[in-house]
Amino acid sequence: MLRILTLLCVLSLSCESLGQDDYLRSIEIDLAKTDGEINRFYNFSVGAGRANEGMRADWRQQLAEVHRDAGFRYIRMHGLLTDDMAVYRIDDKGQDQFNFQYVDDLYDYILSIGMKPFVELSFMPNALASGEQTVFWWRGNVTPPHSYEKWGVLVKTLTQHFTNRYGAKEVESWYFEVWNEPNLEGFWQGSQADYFKLYEYAANAVKSVNPNYKVGGPATAGAAWITDTIEFCVANDVPLDFVSSHSYGVGQGFLDEYGTTGTVLANEERAITNDILKNREEITRSSMPALPLHYTEWSTSYTPADPIHDSYHSAAYILQKIKQVGDAAQSMSYWTFTDIFEEAGPRYEVFHGGFGLMNMQGIKKPSYFAFQFLNDLEKVSLQNEDEQSFASKSQRGDVHVLLWDYTYTLPIKTNNQQFYNRLQKPREKGNVQLNLDGLIKGRYQLQIAQVGFRKNDAYSEYIDMGSPNQLTRSQVETLKKTATGAPHTTRIIRIDKSGRFDLELPLRENDVYSVKLIRL
């Protein structure tokens, strides 16, 4: 009976027929109580696999689309200096040669669509490397330079080239991050002291071109080395404009590029969040308490073969973490925007648990809509005590409320690869009632969009198809049509002089709702 009344309530947009005792959750919003502007740290930056992948037409098409819908402003990627970008070599006369044609082509495109580079200075050109150890299918060299002086010259030459091509004012808005995860042996074959030397030469090289350029690090895994980095830079008078690190929501397992051993989503309410808060506290206690903190990688899992990335569960998880972090970080760069990503080599499966917000064919995953809905929030934040929602309004009186349920559903002793690769029907969570006060009298268009099981959920539809390794063009179009983010409810409502609007919605585990009231 309750579900029938709930359906009637949603269709009629009236909640008077149900008693208060039936409500599991209530969100009370007064439009007169504002809380400043929305902090859009969540779409400051987004990640991509490596620079050379950015030479592909489909990669660029997807980046333009996600920039349009999610509003990402910067993009960070590995491999800007690796040999497939043809940046550096030594000629037959033993002279250094620098070539930035590939970099120019990539950065010209990024800037042309209204984005900016978050420049990760990695990995080592083979001609400058001290060893042969590499990482990934595309063989990024992870050894220290055989000459730190030449490393500094490379970074200075590159930075000067950016200045000549794009102008100092433009490059002043960029960020230069030195290396990637040097606290992991797989990414850095030197010691911490070796990394600090690498950082010092790079930072001084960037600043020698323009002291206003922003440089930072250490881009570590697992929230590490923040205090050490600050102390080193202060003690040695080395430039440091921001600190950066990474965190993923995995509690067990190791990097598993093909999903053969398994990873486990952390069953901790504040996974990822605690890492960021820890770093913020370390910064506050340091001699540089105002340093910006950029989390330049984060996601549910650090494995590019983890089906949670494809699952509807990810959308609610993303929103939960962003809500928890609040003002503690200046950015959280989601890893990554696309499954056009070849750390483990080209993939043979359409949905393989890749990091991306879209798969290789441009089919949007539920995670995509988490960022699209966040980007749609209005400018003014509204006070809101609910821990799983954002409320906002525009100056003209439009209202946008984004609400969700995050529930941990992974069974004990089960890894992600055993659970999220199957259809997972959610349990009902009851109802959520949204109560808005202070609306301007008049006509509004109500728009309700949903993400969850079989709601903008291409992956479940793909499983229904039998999870084919390859898709026909017709199947691609079918899956794209199931995941557009478009409202499932659009209708005109009238707000009377009371300024009150009440809406009740049925809620399942890990559902996400975007509710908009647009003044007409």
Q: Which residues are catalytic?
A: 181, 297
**Quick one: residue 219, left, alpha or beta (phi over 0 = left, psi -120 to 50 = alpha)?**
left
**Peptide bond preceding 478 in cis form (omega within 30 of 0):** no
What SS3 state is found at 224? coil
Of 8, 142, 151, nearest in space to 82 by CA: 142
Q: Give backbone dihedrals phi and psi of 33, rounded to 5 degrees, phi first.
A: -105, 100
E-strand ranges in 335-423 read 380-382, 389-393, 399-404
Q: Which residues contact 213 (CB under 8 A, 6 or more apart)?
A: 159, 171, 172, 174, 176, 206, 207
Of 92, 45, 96, nearest in space to 66 by CA: 45
302-317 burial code (b ≥16 CB/10 A, e <16): bbbbbbbbbbbbbbbb
State the Cα torsion 297-303-309-315 to the nearest 10°. Answer: -40
Residue with the two structure tokens 């996600």: 66
CA distance 510 to 7: 19
Kindly tell me the sign of the dihedral angle through the C-alpha atoms of 122, 128, 129, 130.
negative
Q: State the pairing for strand pair 214-221/175-178.
A: parallel
CA distance 454 to 461: 7
487-497 burial code (b ≥16 CB/10 A, e <16): beeeeeeebee
Q: Token digits for 471?
A: 């898709």
Q: Are 320 and 405 in contact (CB under 8 A)?
A: no
Cα-only R_g, the chain:
24
Q: Which amino acid is at 270?
A: R
CA distance 301 to 178: 23
Q: Which amino acid is at 294?
A: H
Of 311, 301, 365, nearest in space to 338 by CA: 365
Between CA 464 and CA 471, with CA 470 as vertex, the angle to 5 degrees is 65
Q: Are 356 and 365 in contact (CB under 8 A)?
A: yes
Q: Are 298 and 305 in contact (CB under 8 A)?
A: no
66-77 burial code (b ≥16 CB/10 A, e <16): bbebbbbbbbbb
